[in-house]
Copies of this chain bind each other. A is one copy, B any other.
Amino acid sequence: MRLEALMTSLYFEEAEIGQLRTAGPYLVSKDEIIEFAQRYDPQPFDIDEEAAARSVFAGLTASGAHTFAILISLLSKTQPYSLRVLAGLGWDELKLPTPVRPGDELSLEVAILEKRESKSSADRGVVRNQMHLRNQKREVALQCINNVLVARRPAGADRKDSELVK
């Protein structure tokens, strides 16, 4: 608990619209693209360099599911802060405008779009995030919006005292 308190993990009250956090870069290797695709998305243009060269992508590209997994892997590492997320509510407007290729270095940018208090629970709020996963040329590999439940700052000593009374 002490360690958690030392990290910059924001409560709902501290999240500000427009606030940006970033993570990366994540270097994508050819082996990783092929390994992921063989397991979950064995399309010829994801696993076979010759077939890939002939495809519309003109070369090996990562499965969209793989690109999403890389976004998730970066999401828990954002700086200079993270949010005290209680649960994810879902994803919207997920697009993959630029294919990911071997050697790409992907960086994640997350900005807070909106926040609102929960109507049903006083201890949480909903935060809407805009995410962009960009390659080294700043092209967008994946963009999406996600909504998360974020913990509100506990009322503090008063609340703890009243809990102790019970």
Instruction: Please report A residues at the B interface, Cβ cutoff 8 Å.
Output: 36, 39-43, 63-66, 68-73, 76, 88-96, 144
Contacts and interface: CB of A to CB of B under 8 A. Distances in A.
Contacts of A66: 69
Nearest to A41: B72
6 contacts: A39-B69, A42-B76, A65-B68, A65-B73, A68-B68, A68-B69
Q: How many copies does the complex hold?
A: 2
A96 B88 contact: yes
A92 B93 CA distance: 5
- Could you tell me the dominant secondary structure of chain A's interface residues? mixed
B89 A92 contact: no
Contacts of A88: 64, 96
Nearest to A86: B56
Contact of A43 (B40, B76, B96): B76
B93 A90 contact: yes
Across the A-B interface, give the 10 residue pairs with the lowest CB-CB distance, nearest first.
Answer: A91-B94, A90-B95, A65-B72, A65-B69, A40-B69, A40-B73, A41-B72, A92-B92, A65-B68, A90-B94
A43 B76 CA distance: 9
A89 B91 CA distance: 15
Nearest to A66: B69
